[in-house]
Amino acid sequence: MSTTSKKFTELSCDRIPFVLATVVACDNPTSAKPGAKAIVLQDGTLHGWVGGSCTQPIVIREALAALRDGEPKLLRIGTDEAAEYGHGNGVLNFEMTCYSGGTMEIFIEPVLPEEHLILIGNSPDLATLARLANVMNFLVTICDPEVPVDGFPSDVTKRDAFRKDLIGNGNQTWVVVATHGRYDEDALLSVLKSETRYIGLIASKKRAAAIFDYLRTKGVSQEDLDRIKAPAGLDIGAHTPNEIGLSILAEIVQELRSVTAAPRVSTTTKSEEGVQDPVCGMSVKPAGAKFLTEFQGESYYFCCAGCLQAFESDPAKYLDEQVR
CA dihedral 56, 59, 64, 69 (to 10 degrees): 180
Instruction: With beta carbons less than 8 A apart as the criterion, state whether 233 and 244 touch.
Output: yes
CA 65 to chain centre: 9
243-297 pLDDT, tens digit per residue, is 999 999 999 999 988 855 666 676 665 444 578 788 877 777 788 788 889 888 8
The per-residue pLDDT for 69 is: 84
Amino acid letter, residue 160: D
DSSP state of 262: P
Rounded Cα gap, residues 143 and 157, in angstroms: 9
CB burial string 87-126: b at 16+ within 10 A, e below: eeeeebbbbbbbeebbbbbbbbebebbebbbbbbbbbebb
Q: What is the pTM of this model?
A: 0.71
Comparing CA positions, the residue from 33, 34, 63 lying closest to residue 47 is 63
116-170 pLDDT, tens digit per residue, is 999 999 888 999 999 999 999 999 999 999 876 667 888 888 999 998 888 877 7
The per-residue pLDDT for 53 is: 72
Domains and CATH numbers, the chain: 3-111 (no CATH), 116-256 (3.40.50.720), 270-323 (no CATH)
- Give the mean pLDDT of 226-254: 95
CB burial string 262-301: b at 16+ within 10 A, e below: eebbebebebeebeebbbbbbbbeeeebebeeeeeeeebb
Using the predicted structure, report yes or no on whether residue 302 has a pLDDT greater than 90: no
11-65 pLDDT, tens digit per residue, is 888 888 899 999 998 887 677 789 999 999 988 899 998 887 778 888 998 999 9
Per-residue pLDDT band at 324 (split at 50, 70, 90): very low
Instruction: With beta carbons less than 8 A apart as the criterion, state whether 132 and 246 touch.
Output: yes
Rank 90-94, 247-251, 306-310, 314-318 by mean pLDDT and report only the highest: 247-251
| DSSP secondary structure letters along 47-70 | EE-S-STTTHHHHHHHHHHHHHH-
Using the predicted structure, report yes or no on whether residue 86 has a pLDDT greater than 50: no
Least confident of 136-145, 177-186, 313-322: 313-322
Hey, CA dihedral for 280, 284, 286, 290, is it positive or negative? negative
Collect all residues with Cβ–Cβ distance below 8 Å to 269 and sequence separation of at least 6.
43, 44, 60, 64, 283
Least confident of 3-7, 78-82, 120-124, 170-174: 78-82
DSSP state of 199: E
Q: How many beta carbons lie within 10 A of that of residue 72, not counting itself? A: 13
Per-residue pLDDT band at 82 (split at 50, 70, 90): very low
Taking all residues of the chain, what is their mean pLDDT, rounded to a whole number? 85
Rounded Cα gap, residues 190 and 20, in angstroms: 35
Collect all residues with Cβ–Cβ distance below 8 Å to 131 and sequence separation of at least 6.
151, 152, 153, 245
Rounded Cα gap, residues 295 and 138, in angstroms: 54
Using the predicted structure, report yes or no on whether residue 198 has a pLDDT greater than 90: yes
Rank 90-94, 270-274, 296-300 by mean pLDDT and report only the highest: 296-300
